[in-house]
Structure 1
Amino acid sequence: MKRFIYTIINAFKYRACLYNLKDKKHQIKDVFCLTKSYLKELKISCLVLDYDGVLAPHGENVLCETILQHLSSLSEELGPGRIYILSNKPSLIRAEMFKKNLPNIIFIRAFRKKPYPDGLNEIISISGIESSKICLVDDRLLTGCLSSIISGCYPILLTNPLINKNKNRLNEVFFNILRFIEQKIFLG
């Protein structure tokens, strides 16, 4: 309940900032849009990715091969300590998968879930990179994007989240409804 109240208060406090995410420079279709040149154009030195909806459908613990390859290539181009995963469901299985397959990507386990800025503040501290040069990509306005705004990072909304209605139909419908409501209220 505390997280819900915190979210609502901050959503209205930062409503104008959330509305600015309507600008195409704050939106991408999918993670394949993330390239070294794209990040350089935005003056981003550090990339933070949500997991559910961004890298895999909700509840999936394994990344598809094309996303694994893209992340591997991008992490090599950017260098170690430049890509982080910040998920509201930071399972040990996921952390081990990154450690094994993508060792240059750091998996963060924040004490409090987004939109609390704890995870991003930890990344700012670990990386030594100023917040304005850190970007968080999330499929939800009122979790990752709001957390990004609160911590002074650059928010990017992923507009075509990964879903699997065959496996987690109820979850996927729930999150699609949340995304729709958030975007109707805050993006107009």
Structure 2
Amino acid sequence: MLLDQEPSVLSEQGVRALALDFDGVLAPHAADQPLPEVTDWLRRAVAVFGVERVCILSNRPFGPRVDWFATQFPGLRFVSGVRKKPYPDGLKKTGELASVPLSSILMVDDRLLTGCLSALLAGARPLYIRNPYCSFSSHPAKELFFMLLRRCERLFVRLVP
């Protein structure tokens, strides 16, 4: 869980920038804003790393989600205009925007074969969120689909030599 990763400790471990997936990591799928406890964590992360070194890599970098961040975290950027994960383009752009080497970026994602693979391909650090935020009452089909997808990914990774 993201909340188990204290930003100051991550900094002590050599992390200089964060690339955060949104769905599952900051909030359940299709939410327009992070959960309140995650918002508190984001405030600590921005205090430690600076707003220019915290980026969101999301499939929905538009609409109410972006508007919320613009008011609550001015200067925090959504990385867009790049090929989607697992291509490393988003992390390369994060490194450019944050002016840090890729090896010092922590990619936080709830998917092994998208965000975590992207981090490995880019030379960044992956942090896999094994228990992502879900809201079966809001989006049961979508949450079930991603739950099954994550389980298939874990099985695939275990079976590959």
Q: TM-score, normalised by structure 1?
A: 0.79
- Stretch moving more, 37-46 or 155-164: 37-46
The percent of aligned pairs where both chains have the same amino acid is 36
Structure number with the bigger relative contact order (C-alpha 8 A, sep ≥ 6) is 1
Is this contact kept in 2: 1:56–1:162, CA < 8 A? yes
- Stretch moving more, 155-164 or 72-81: 72-81
Match runs of 1:39-54 below 5 Å: 39-54=10-25
Match runs of 1:98-137 below 5 Å: 98-137=69-108
Q: Which stretches of structure 1, 4 residues or longer, exceed 6 Å deviation after superposition?
A: none
Partners of 1:110 and 1:150 in 2: CA distance: 19
Structure 1 alignment gaps of length 5 or more: 1-29
Partners of 1:125 and 1:82 in 2: CA distance: 10
Partners of 1:40 and 1:62 in 2: CA distance: 25
Tell me, yes or no, if structure 1 residue 169 matches structure 2 residue 140. Answer: yes
Q: TM-score, normalised by structure 2?
A: 0.92
RMSD between superposed Cα atoms in Å: 1.4
| 2:115 alignment partner in structure 1 | 144
Deviation at 1:104, TM superposition (A): 4.5
Is this contact kept in 2: 1:83–1:104, CA < 8 A? no
- Aligned residue for 1:81, secondary structure, equals helix
Partners of 1:34 and 1:107 in 2: CA distance: 21
Number of residue-to-residue matches in the alignment: 159
Partners of 1:111 and 1:130 in 2: CA distance: 18
Tell me, yes or no, if structure 1 residue 55 matches structure 2 residue 10. Answer: no
Structure 2 alignment gaps of length 5 or more: none
